[in-house]
């Protein structure tokens, strides 16, 4: 998820200002803004690999929300995510462990609050085993959201394939209205 640009300290601090900050003195989440660029890049690479596998087998038109190049100055990130979900046959929130989860709860909560009643059977939240979030825990109760975990990339791919396959089978059998 996330059609928006991630927060970048380069937008608000000069290189000199960033060098002067005692990173070890910052609270954990802020400290991560200085240290996790490689983790974020790896998470995005993971999502791209998963996307490629799903496009190959079972041949889904899998895309990441950031594939659609809509500037957040034109349409805010939450509205974009809600509309992408509204137009999608299936939506998976995939959350790898990055040491923090800035924005995950807000974005997912906004989508669920708007679409859980009409699209709930087409939504899944898949998070890496190490991810903890009050939002994830409450989503299952409040919106009856399907929640899955994964430890390996293979488990993630298998979970997403199974989820998409179940939607297709339910549509074919008439247990779920065809989308669109």
Please tell me the total number of residues recorded for the chain in this structure: 180
Flag whether 40 is in a domain: yes
Residues 107 and 2 sit within 8 Å (Cβ to Cβ): yes
Flag whether 133 is in a domain: yes
- Separation of alpha carbons 23 and 33, rounded Å: 9
Q: Which structural domain, as residue segments, surrounds residue 145? A: 9-173
Flag whether 16 is in a domain: yes
Flag whether 180 is in a domain: no
- Separation of alpha carbons 96 and 93, rounded Å: 10
CATH number of the domain enclosing 88: 3.40.50
Residues 50 and 96 sit within 8 Å (Cβ to Cβ): no
Nearest to 139 by CA among 97, 168, 107: 107
Nearest to 130 by CA among 80, 78, 95, 162: 95
Tens of pLDDT along the chain (180 residues)? 444 344 556 556 677 877 777 767 766 656 655 555 666 678 888 888 999 999 998 888 887 776 766 677 788 878 888 888 888 889 998 888 765 555 666 778 888 999 999 999 999 999 989 887 777 888 889 999 999 999 999 999 999 999 999 999 999 999 999 876
Flag whether 1 is in a domain: no
Flag whether 118 is in a domain: yes
Flag whether 103 is in a domain: yes
Q: How many domains does the chain have?
A: 1
Residue 77 tokens read as 């990130």
Flag whether 81 is in a domain: yes
């Amino acid at each position: 998820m996330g059609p928006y640009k991630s927060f970048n300290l380069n937008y608000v601090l000069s290189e000199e200002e960033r060098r002067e900050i005692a990173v070890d003195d910052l609270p954990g989440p802020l400290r991560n803004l200085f240290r996790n660029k490689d983790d974020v890049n790896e998470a995005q690479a993971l999502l791209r690999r998963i996307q490629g596998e799903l496009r190959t087998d079972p041949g889904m038109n899998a895309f990441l929300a950031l594939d659609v190049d809509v500037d957040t100055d034109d349409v805010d990130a939450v509205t974009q995510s809600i509309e992408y979900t509204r137009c999608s046959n299936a939506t998976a929130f995939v959350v790898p462990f990055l040491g923090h989860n800035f924005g995950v709860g807000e974005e997912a909560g906004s989508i669920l609050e708007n679409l859980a009643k009409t699209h709930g059977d087409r939504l899944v939240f898949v998070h890496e085993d190490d991810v903890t979030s009050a939002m994830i825990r409450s989503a299952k109760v409040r919106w009856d959201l399907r929640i899955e975990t994964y430890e390996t990339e293979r488990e993630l791919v298998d979970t997403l394939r199974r989820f998409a396959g179940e939607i297709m089978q339910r549509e074919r059998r008439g247990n779920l209205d065809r989308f669109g």
